[in-house]
Each structure stands twice: as C-alpha cells, then as structure tokens.
Amino acid sequence: MGAERPNSAEESPNAAAGTSSSGTLELSNVKADVEADAVADVAAKATPDGNADANAPAIVVASESPDKGEAADEAQYASVSYMDILKHWSLMGYIGFGGPAAHIGMFQRYFVERYKWMSLQVFTELFSLGQCLPGPTSTQVSFAIGTVKRGFLGGMLSGALFQYPGAVIMTVVGAGAAKWLTDPPGWLAGIVAGLSAVGVAMVASAAKGLLMKLCNTNVTAIVGTLAAGAAIYWVEPWLYPLLIVLGFIVTNITDRKLDKRLSGGDGGVESLGLGMVAGGIVIAVWLVVLAVVLALARTVYKDGDGPLNWFEVFFRTGSIIYGGGQVVLPMLLSDVVTTYPNGTTTEDSWVTKEQFFAGLGAVQALPGPLFNFSSYLGCIIAIKWGYPFILGAVLAWFGLFSPGVMLIFGVLPYWKKFRTWQLYRRGLTGMNAVGVGLILASVFSMTVDVYQISPFPTASLVIGLFAFTAVDELHIFEPFVVIGGALLGLLGWGAKLD
C-alpha cells in the first residue's frame, strides 16, 4: 500500500458536502464508537460564520464496519411510496447542477441525511457499484435509489425524472443551433469560444477534486498518472476498459494485506428490483445488442453515415465507458469529430469542433447528467445527413444511456452476493484512480482542441483560467459562470483579442 500523501479530507477546508463540480466520494475507515460524529462532521462542515457551505465539494464517508445500530434498528429508515419518488425526484432533475460528483453529494444530502431512505453505508456501496460498471455513475445511482425502495418500477421512475429535463433542453438546443454553429458569424464564434473555455474549465475543476481525494497515496497517484498518459497518447476505445482492469489488479496486489471486509444490516434496502434470473437476462440482452450493432456497423453498414452507425457509436461508447461523464467526452470527440492534421474539421465530419464544444458548455450549465450531451449531438448529426432531428436525438440519447441503465438493473440482484468480497473492495481503489486519470487526460486533450478552434486562442486560455477559479475556488453557481464565459467571448471578439 502506498504512503499517504498530503491534502487529506481532514486537512482540506473544502472537505464538506455540497454541489460543486469538483465534488467526489471518499471511502475511509471510521471507528464504530465515533462513527456518527465523524460522518456528521465531514458530511456538513460549516463555514466560518456557522452556515453550511452549499457549494463545497461533496464527500461521502463510509465505514468498513456496519453503520452504528443499522442491523438492530432497520425501522429508522423511511418507507417510500411511488408518490414519494415522484415528489422528490421531480425536483432532482431541475436542481442537479454541477456534474456527476455534485449529483452524488446532492443525493446523499437528500436521501441519506434528510429523508432517511437508506444508510450512508448502503448509499456508498451503490455509488461504488456504479463506479465499477460502464455508464454514467450518477444516473445509475439515481435508478438504484428508486429500485432499492420500490423495485424495478420505482427505479425507472426515479431515474427518468432525474434525466428528462436536461435531455429535452439539449434536444431543443441541438435542433435550433445546428446550422448556426456550422459556420458561425464572428460574434457567435466569440461566444462559442467563451463557452468552450468554460466547459473545459469545469471538467478541470472536477479532475482536481477527484485527484485530491481518490489519488491520495503514492500507488493511486502513479496509477492515475500512468492512465492519463496512456489515454492522451493512445485514443482507442479498447484502452479504457483495459486500464480499468489493470488498476483493479494493481491495488489488489498492493493492498493485499488490508482487511476490507464489509458487513452490516440492510440499511433501508427493501428491494433489489429484478430477480437473479431476470437480471441475468437483462445482462445477456445488453451483450447481444452490443454484438449485433458492432457486427452490422462493421460489415453491412461499414463506412456508412446512417442511423444504425450513429446508434452503434453511442451504444458502444456507453458500453465501455468508465469514470462518469467527463471521461466520455474525449471518446465522443474522437468518434463524431473528424479533423485534418492541422486541426480543422473535415467536410464529412458528423459534428464540427465548434458545435461540439459549444454544446459542452451548454450542457454543463444545465441540470442533470452530462450524458444528456448525447441528445444534442444526435440532433446535429441527424440534421447534417438530412434526417429528422428527433430521430438522431433519440438514437444517440438511448444509445449512450441504455447500457449503463441495463447493467445497473442486471447487476443489482447479485449485489448482496459480492458486496463483501475483499477482491472487489481492494480493486475498487485502483479502478477509481484510473477513472481520475482518464478525466485528467480529457482536460489536456480538450484544452488543445479549444485552443485550436478559438478565434482568440490566448484570450480563451485566460477565460478558462477565470472560469476555473470561479467554479473551483469561489464556488459561483455554474450557470452564472457559463453566462460570464459567453459574455467574455463576445467581448474578446469585439476587442479583436489574440
């Protein structure tokens, strides 16, 4: 096991629960006799004036031992109806700003601390489960929370309510902005450059927070750095799952002497959704669909630009992506944007760089999962090739989301079987470190792309720096930062900056 590095959660003034894009999840050991106090201390640290900091990064603390009294007092957890899910999750889709890590912090505050739907230990395990599966982690947790309270239908309801507001808005943006962003006038190019810089800055903020919390030992720092270097140098779809597996193996070796057994009561879990047989069928369906679309896209529809090719790109990406929304960005960029060696977009590219990064800035200003970016891209691709925009939006959105959703429903029935396996818990440390490295790699690659397409490259770097400080240090509400970036981009165009 690597030695501890500085900047632990106890030393950092930002180790509090909140809704920042730099939020993350920390797993630490808390002694049973002080566990309740420690959780309260970390989950809601106060600002100097005594008020909880709503914008500080989200931290979830989980014990390796059962929650205090959890096994003896299951009655402390709320019984949830479909109306309860409808009431509370209708709100989540509209207030879920800040990216995947912030969503996790928001779910913790509402469904663990405020509404007592489940124990902190169970919530942390659901998050870890999402981290181990391909797909959007915060979205998978949103489905899992409803599932463990009201079964399959409850999970479908909670997950759908969390996703639809952002998906609808991004579809409208994609349908309305596709032609404008293909060859934008000067003033619009300035706004796009400002939005693009802000979008990358928000990803950088998330990378910083995750790096400090999940790569805080020598081993995890090295694993994360090597993963980032590999992802920057080789942009290949097969690389991401390979790195995840290697991270799993490395920390199983380095942490082999650690006791990471986990036990406890149900912690508010009332259902696992599907049975084991049905769960296995769902996983099998996912594998069959993946195999069929891959085969068709590489044989019958090879080199095509039609609907099946779009669906194959997004379904394949959703099936192999680990690490959440930020990690998917460089993969989508390489799949939907084709460039010449000098960095300019080719004529047959599905999406231009300008369209891609403008949409990235827009989706980060909206609530809900970052994967809603897919509906925007689908609109633009469909319009490019003369199809109805709604067809592209549905195929891209469904293609990117469905693998992760199918897998969380398929794996949940088996969750209680392997949640105590030490092999799984030791490997999770390495997989998290690789995920951080992939996000870090996306920051570097996207910075280069934004610099190349900007009409004022140097000024774009400055806008990105301002945006990073606003989000990461000043904790300004993300939509305000996005608006500010657009205004600075317009100012840069008007002032003819370099």
288 pLDDT more than 50: yes
Neighbours of 349 (CB within 10 A): 18
Tell me what the mean pLDDT of segment 90-100 comes to: 75
Cα–Cα distances (Å) from 62 to 40, 145, 230, 252, in that order, read 12, 17, 31, 20
Looking at per-residue pLDDT, the higher value among 265 and 201 belongs to 201
- Which pLDDT does position 326 carry in this prediction? 65
Q: Decide if 49 is inside a domain.
A: no
- Which pLDDT does position 113 carry in this prediction? 78
**CA 69 to CA 238: how far, in whole Å?**
45
20 pLDDT more than 50: no
**CA 154 to CA 82: how far, in whole Å?**
6
Supply the DSSP symbol for 5: P
Write the pLDDT tens digit of every residue in 460-475: 999 999 999 998 889 8
**Of 50-54, 123-127, 254-258, minimum mean pLDDT range:** 50-54
**CA 486 to CA 197: how far, in whole Å?**
9
User: Residue 264 — pLDDT band, cuts 50, 70, 90?
Assistant: low
Q: How many residues does the chain have?
A: 498
| Host domain of residue 246 | 166-494
Q: Decide if 447 is inside a domain.
A: yes
Looking at per-residue pLDDT, the higher value among 303 and 467 belongs to 467
Tokens of 287: 């594998």
Alpha carbon 397 to chain centroid, angstroms: 15
Q: Decide if 29 is inside a domain.
A: no
When divided into structural domains, the chain yields a total of 1
DSSP, collapsed to helix, strand or coil, labels residue 217 as strand
Q: Decide if 471 is inside a domain.
A: yes
Q: Decide if 479 is inside a domain.
A: yes
311 pLDDT more than 90: yes
Q: Decide if 412 is inside a domain.
A: yes
Q: Decide if 61 is inside a domain.
A: no
Output the DSSP codes for 353-411. HHHHHHHHHHHHTSSS-GGGHHHHHHHHHHHHTTS-HHHHHHHHHHHHHHHHHHHHHHH
Place of tokens 């709100």: 91
Q: Are 478 and 364 in contact (CB under 8 A)?
A: yes
Average predicted confidence (pLDDT) for the chain: 77
Looking at per-residue pLDDT, the higher value among 360 and 264 belongs to 360
User: Residue 250 — pLDDT band, cuts 50, 70, 90?
Assistant: very high
38 pLDDT more than 90: no
pLDDT winner (highest mean) among 107-116, 218-227, 238-247: 218-227
212 pLDDT more than 60: yes
Q: Decide if 161 is inside a domain.
A: no
Write the pLDDT tens digit of every residue in 114-139: 888 888 777 877 877 787 788 888 88
User: Residue 187 — pLDDT band, cuts 50, 70, 90?
Assistant: confident
The pTM (predicted TM-score) of the whole model is 0.66
395 pLDDT more than 90: yes
pLDDT winner (highest mean) among 93-97, 388-392, 451-455: 388-392
User: Residue 158 — pLDDT band, cuts 50, 70, 90?
Assistant: very high
User: Backbone phi, then psi, for 217, in 5-degree steps?
Assistant: -125, 165
Which residue intervals of 215-338 are DSSP H helices? 218-233, 239-254, 276-298, 307-320, 325-336
